[in-house]
Each structure stands twice: as structure tokens, then as C-alpha cells.
Amino acid sequence: MQIFLNVMVLLLFLSFADAKVLKLSSIPIPLMVEDANNGLFIQLTKEIAKRNGYELDILVQPPG
């Protein structure tokens, strides 16, 4: 459910954003966010941005 909400929030931001480059920051989440290029959520987010004409700047930082 949390992933669904995150995707919906991302879609909302994509629909209102004026910039062509969006910044996204996350902590590592096994399977979902492994690093800035790998993970289910990362792949989904990149595809959503690509279909809407945006580029992503993804930063994955350790928690804490």
C-alpha cells in the first residue's frame, strides 16, 4: 500500500512540475530501491518520468 501511495504522489508531482529534471531522494529499500539505477520502484519511477517527458536525478542515501 505504501508503494502505491508513493507512486500516486510521484504522479501528482509529475503532473504539476514545470522543471524538466526532477530530483528524487530515497533510502535503500530491498527489492524496491537498491541504488539509483536498480530496484522495482526506481524502474517504475523512471518509466513514468520518461512517458511524461521528464528526466530524473535520483539520490539514494543511507538512513540516519
- For residue 45, the model assigns a pLDDT of 93
What is the predicted pLDDT for the residue at 50? 92
Q: State how far Cα 24 lies from the chain centre.
A: 6
Beta bridge partners of 57: 23
pTM beyond 0.85: no
The count of residues in the chain is 64
Give the three-class secondary structure for 19: coil
Query: Distance between CA 64 and CA 62 in Å, rounded?
Result: 7
- 17 Cβ contact partners less than 8 Å away, ≥ 6 residues apart: 54
pLDDT band at 14; cut points 50, 70, 90:
low
